[in-house]
Structure 1
Amino acid sequence: MAKGQPTPAPPAYTLIRLFFRLVLNSFYGSIVVENAGYIPETGKACILCPNHSNSVLDAPLVSVSVPMDRRKLIRFTAKASLFGQKTFSSWLIQAAGTIPIQRRKDNPDGSADNTEAMESLMEALDAGDAICLFPEGISRYHPEVAPLKTGVARMVSDALGRNRDDPDFEVYVVPCSITYMHRQHFRSDVLVSWNKPMVFSVKNNPELIGPADFARVREVTRDLQEQIRAGILEAPTWDHIRNAKVAARIYAPLGTLMPLGEYVRLSRRFADVFSNAGKGELSNLTQADKDSILQLCKDLKAYQDELVALGVKDDRIRKPLPRLVIVYRMVIRLVWSLALFAVCLPGLILWTPVFITSRVAVRNFMKKGGPVYDTWDDISQHKALYGLMSVFLICVLVIFFTWRFTPFTVLITPAFLWMSMRWIEDGVATFRAFTALYRLLLIGKSALKNLRERRSELHSRVTNLAVDTLGLPEDPEKYFASVGGKEKGRVRGNWDHVFRYFSVKRRRKRDWNETLRLYDKVDYPIDDYPHADT
């Protein structure tokens, strides 16, 4: 490639990018992208730096989150062990022009040599292309970001050194924060938040031109990590994230009236204060205040544990209903769910092989054993890829057996599968509401009264923490309902709330934790695996 001339996207890459978009928008309910305008346009050397918590699917997610008018081609890297295998995912990785990286952990004999790969990446930056690097260096299912490697900062240093004779040469490092609400579950939601780029130039950053000051390299790496961490929901343990979500729902129970980005950042604020109180790092608070926060964590956990045991959501406790109203709503939801399942029955028959194939693929993968953080790391990609291949095969079979009507079935079959999935989602959500109301009816009046009193007391404590310590607004429902725009998956006002239910494009959700499950997903893995520094 010529210096200063961006590499055009090959046709194969464009087709694969469309394929990725189909896979991801089918598997995940909403992919909300924030601040895509921060990505520099083609012709400016650019390094995209997301956190890496979802193995193979992180790279496709980045590719579909970058607007085509910004970048038509992104050069990705992946561990060399993914190349050369007789698998569909391996073929995809290679066909997309991904550059193999040899990791030291995969080559304990010290034979890892990335000279050729690094030269390819440097040539891409010289040409003004965009490359994507995952600075954690590993992919894992863990509640917090791993310490970043210094590779990105050293690459910036090398790029500036190669272009030291051009004082106007710049390298843009764009941090990216990816948060999966429940990454391995079908029809969950994802937030991709692009952060303000870090710009390095030959003229303004001579200290990075080789031989670079390693202290400065580490400083750049630290700044990059802080920007990535600022946009995701993370904490030292899954318990902190669970408690933070409970606190966020109690403080601002808005469901999808609140933008997904605001929900994630709100939960993150609570996760930070809970974890820092445990570490004793809140220097502006007295010990009594820290003890109060730690006690709040314990009480929130106990409250959520009881809700899980009873099979109800906090929102059901927040809005008391007379028992006759509960029975009436149960009848309505049961009838409506049966009607929806009846309507989508033909589509459900077509979808059943897809669900079975994905489940068998995941079960066979998990039989391989290994640490839980490695096992869970590939669950979502197996579900997504095997599920999509099954859908493709079903479409081919339907078209084959209806060959006389091929011009009709080639269009109607994918559309029918999509609409069937919409009805299945609505049916599952309606039946889930029916079972939740039934469980609510089984709770005794005295027990329900005690739960409401506990919830009221917790609401007061959580609100005081949010307003007095975190500086959050006193009227969260009014504030968070008014901020943001028309993010995907979000509803704005009563009319949109009703209209979205009948939307062909996507169904209306009641909260960002919702997945295609007959129960509400609120729990996480047990924290029984090693941290990044062990």
Structure 2
Amino acid sequence: MASVRESQAAIDTHADGRVGAQPSPRVGKPAHKESNPMTNWVYDVFLWTFSILVDLFFREVHPRGSWKIPRRGPIIFVAAPHANQFVDPLVLMRTLRIEAHRRVAFLIAEKSIKRKFIGWFSRHVGAVPVGRALDMVKPATGSIYMPDIDDPLLIRGYGTKFDGPEIQIGGLLVLPSVNGTAASTEVAEVLGPEELRLKKPFKGGIAFSQLTGREDVTEDGAFSNRDQKGPAADFHGTRYKTAPKVDQSKVYDAVFDRLSAGGAVGIFPEGGSHDRTELLPLKAGVAIMALGALAAAPDSGLKIIPCGMNYFHAHKFRSRAVIEFGNPVEVPKKLVEMYKNGERREAVSQLLETVYQSLVAVTVTSPDYDTLMLIQAARRLYNPTGKKLPLPMVVELNRRLVKGYTHYKDDPRTIALKKSVINYNKQLKYLNLRDHQVEYAKLSLVKVVFLLIGRIIKLAGLSIGVLPGLILFGPVFIASKLISIKKSREALAASTVKIQARDVVATWKLLVSMAFAPLLYTFYTVVLVIWTYKTRVNGLVPESLPLWWIPPIGYTVFPMITFAALRFGEVGMDIAKSLRPLFLCLNPTSSNPLYKLQATREQLSHEVTELINTLGPEMFPDFDAARIVADPFRDGFQTPPTPSTN
């Protein structure tokens, strides 16, 4: 809800009720004139090709709730969190094509569509380019400050050129980034070269401290000393950046055209990719698109489908994901009428709140990284069935634990348990162990010895299978690692919301692999052809085999070797990670830290389970201690209702 409130500036920008605030859809059925019309066969070939890469990069992508997606009619898919820059739309496009047989035109940043490779494919799969003001941020001349704390809309400068091309009415003022976040707001009026007024004040204590140089500012932006109206005595302003006003009329026209033709549009309403644990403020565009389309065609049956992009270590190779689809959101007719009658700000605000709540229902969000780590630890400790949980149930359990922790975080029992779980995590980190490996302490010494010997032998065999592929594909691994790190640093420097810019890592690993792998396979195939031509591979290739057979053999065998190495390596890494706890178990004495940790875990698991089973029924009517989360197929289970603004 806080995210929606923070989005009010975006709502005001696009839906302030003025004539021409944003393009109105044409009444009646418009001509279908998209700037990048979708080519179905290119879309399917593109998806089939890149699905191979998705299968290679991710160990598992599990769809959930895909039966909720209408097979026909206009749909706006809203997806969050946007944790993987170009991978997110690819994964979602693939899932929707397989599960719902729908082709989707995604909105894509204009700067991305200008990239040669990405741009060509984006245009042929019907992507709609969107110009983003924050992509055009540039350092501006001079420094700025707030002269009067009672008038936060007034901004003055030292050596600024507000009346020049740097500042546009409707453009943005952007303050320096602090902790990965940069405050920004819209310019309403230019009063002179060193004075302007804002449409909305900057938000938060950090922004006000930057603009005044004062330290008596609370987190929410209140000043302790109200008698002092101006900035600190020795304050000379803060540096700032500007962004131009962006005309989005072509974007809305393209979206209205596709929806009027019964198509589907996909959008990441946070505006850009990020690596935060909470949702960013939603942009107003998705609400304007839905209301505008329904204002032109009230009986079109347009629905908004929330899509939760739930990743487990999104930036890492062979990670897992759950793509969850929520209940379709039907826009109330009341909001459409409000929108048509000039009450656009209120209509957009209400619909945006509904969209936000629908996304919260299918995502796992937490206020910070430490809280997320705490929740995941509690989820591993809480398992009354003692069974391995399916991936969708893991996501649902994480979601409920976040809600429960948020509600009961000030409860003394929760505070005490939090300290114990954090201490347990520290012990795991100190011993370089994972939680599930602590269970090895229960094994007898004889079983540990046999298990250790067996795994070492298995690891040696897998290493032999991995070695050829590792040597052949090693240059690609190295290049993708180095380039993704470089691009991550560049993205972090250019962003106002990223923390470590992990959201671009997977994208660049895939892009580099796509570019380097064919070149590498071609090089190896050429070498094989030459070797065969000159020596028949030292006599290993019979003379009866025609030389023209060698290229197709090379292009088949080399990728197979690589794929085998990936699969063997995946299993081998799991085995290698299990060796350390087994070595620790060779010491059967009570002084072994693993035995102590195992006893701590048992006690902690009991405490976590008892607290959740005590508090769970108070929050969740369908709480079932035996099943952990409710079985959606059991008798009496009811699907939660679609969020409504009525």
Q: Which residue of 2 aligns with 1:76?
A: 106
Q: Please tell me whether the aligned partners of residues 4 and 128 of structure 1 are also in contact (alpha carbons under 8 angstroms).
A: no
Give yes or no for the alignment of 1:240 onto 2:371: yes
User: Closer, same or farther in 2 for the Cα pair 1:109/1:236, shift >3 Å?
Assistant: closer
Q: Which residue of 1 aligns with 2:608?
A: 462
Give yes or no for the alignment of 1:126 onto 2:260: yes
Q: Alpha-carbon deviations, 1:96-127, whole Å to 9, x = none?
A: 33221112223444341111121111111111
TM-score, normalising length: structure 2: 0.67
Q: Which residue of 1 aligns with 2:519?
A: 393
Give yes or no for the alignment of 1:321 onto 2:443: yes
Q: Matches of residues 67-106 of structure 1 in structure 2 within 5 Å?
A: 67-68=97-98, 70-86=100-116, 88-106=117-135
User: d(CA) in 2 for partners of 1:417 and 1:182?
Assistant: 23
Q: Which residue of 2 aligns with 1:373?
A: 499
Q: Alpha-carbon deviations, 1:29-52, whole Å to 9, x = none?
A: 11111122222224x111000012
User: Closer, same or farther in 2 for the Cα pair 1:148/1:364, shift >3 Å?
Assistant: closer
- Report the more deviating stretch, 302-311 or 428-437: 428-437
Q: Please tell me whether the aligned partners of residues 101 and 117 of structure 1 are also in contact (alpha carbons under 8 angstroms).
A: yes
**How far is the alpha carbon of 1:175 from its aligned partner?**
0.4
User: Closer, same or farther in 2 for the Cα pair 1:298/1:45, shift >3 Å?
Assistant: same
What is the Cα-based RMSD across aligned positions, in Å? 3.0
Give yes or no for the alignment of 1:422 onto 2:567: yes
Q: Alpha-carbon deviations, 1:137-170, whole Å to 9, x = none?
A: 2321100111222221221111111125xxx322
Residue aligned with 2:115, SS: coil
**How far is the alpha carbon of 1:318 from its aligned partner?**
3.5
Residue in structure 2 matching 1:265, options 373, 391, 396: 396
Q: Which residue of 1 aligns with 2:556?
A: 411
Give yes or no for the alignment of 1:117 onto 2:231: no
Structure with greater proportional helix content: 1
- Report the more deviating stretch, 310-319 or 436-445: 436-445
Query: Aligned residues: percent identity?
Result: 22
Q: Which residue of 1 aligns with 2:238?
A: none
Q: Please tell me whether the aligned partners of residues 84 and 506 of structure 2 are also in contact (alpha carbons under 8 angstroms).
A: yes
**How far is the alpha carbon of 1:129 from its aligned partner?**
0.7
Q: Which residue of 1 aligns with 2:149?
A: none
Which 5+ residue runs of structure 2 have no aligned equivalent? 1-28, 137-241, 530-546, 618-622, 634-646
Q: Please tell me whether the aligned partners of residues 304 and 329 of structure 2 are also in contact (alpha carbons under 8 angstroms).
A: yes
Q: Please tell me whether the aligned partners of residues 36 and 67 of structure 1 are also in contact (alpha carbons under 8 angstroms).
A: no
User: d(CA) in 2 for partners of 1:250 and 1:291?
Assistant: 19
Amino acid corresponding to residue 475 of structure 1 in structure 2: A
Amino acid corresponding to residue 93 of structure 2 in structure 1: S
User: d(CA) in 2 for partners of 1:178 and 1:69?
Assistant: 16
Residue in structure 1 matching 2:270, options 136, 156, 160: 136
Q: Please tell me whether the aligned partners of residues 104 and 263 of structure 2 are also in contact (alpha carbons under 8 angstroms).
A: yes
Amino acid corresponding to residue 300 of structure 2 in structure 1: F
Q: Please tell me whether the aligned partners of residues 489 and 501 of structure 2 are also in contact (alpha carbons under 8 angstroms).
A: no
User: d(CA) in 2 for partners of 1:203 and 1:241?
Assistant: 38
Residue in structure 2 matching 1:21, options 48, 51, 57: 51
User: d(CA) in 2 for partners of 1:366 and 1:129?
Assistant: 34
Give yes or no for the alignment of 1:436 onto 2:587: no
**How far is the alpha carbon of 1:359 from its aligned partner?**
1.4
Q: Please tell me whether the aligned partners of residues 274 and 297 of structure 1 are also in contact (alpha carbons under 8 angstroms).
A: no
- Report the more deviating stretch, 398-407 or 145-154: 398-407
**How far is the alpha carbon of 1:215 from its aligned partner?**
2.9
Residue aligned with 1:190, SS: strand
User: Closer, same or farther in 2 for the Cα pair 1:95/1:441, shift >3 Å?
Assistant: farther
Q: Please tell me whether the aligned partners of residues 171 and 201 of structure 1 are also in contact (alpha carbons under 8 angstroms).
A: no
User: Closer, same or farther in 2 for the Cα pair 1:374/1:304, shift >3 Å?
Assistant: closer
Which 5+ residue runs of structure 1 have no aligned equivalent? 281-289, 485-534
TM-score, normalising length: structure 1: 0.80
Q: Alpha-carbon deviations, 1:366-425, whole Å to 9, x = none?
A: 454626526323111111211233332233333333453233333333333222211111
Give yes or no for the alignment of 1:383 onto 2:534: no
Q: Please tell me whether the aligned partners of residues 305 and 325 of structure 2 are also in contact (alpha carbons under 8 angstroms).
A: yes
- Report the more deviating stretch, 367-376 or 59-68: 367-376
Give yes or no for the alignment of 1:37 onto 2:70: no
- Report the more deviating stretch, 26-35 or 450-459: 450-459
User: Closer, same or farther in 2 for the Cα pair 1:256/1:183, shift >3 Å?
Assistant: farther
User: Closer, same or farther in 2 for the Cα pair 1:9/1:216, shift >3 Å?
Assistant: same
**How far is the alpha carbon of 1:68 from its aligned partner?**
4.8
- Report the more deviating stretch, 202-211 or 372-381: 202-211
Residue in structure 2 matching 1:185, options 312, 316, 324: 316
Q: Which residue of 2 aligns with 1:49?
A: 78
User: d(CA) in 1 for partners of 2:436 and 2:99?
Assistant: 42
User: d(CA) in 1 for partners of 2:528 and 2:555?
Assistant: 10
Q: Please tell me whether the aligned partners of residues 384 and 625 of structure 2 are also in contact (alpha carbons under 8 angstroms).
A: no
Aligned residues: 468
Q: Which residue of 2 aligns with 1:507?
A: none
Amino acid corresponding to residue 293 of structure 1 in structure 2: T
Q: Which residue of 2 aligns with 1:349?
A: 471
Q: Alpha-carbon deviations, 1:439-480, whole Å to 9, x = none?
A: 444696233443233212211111112212123433348x89
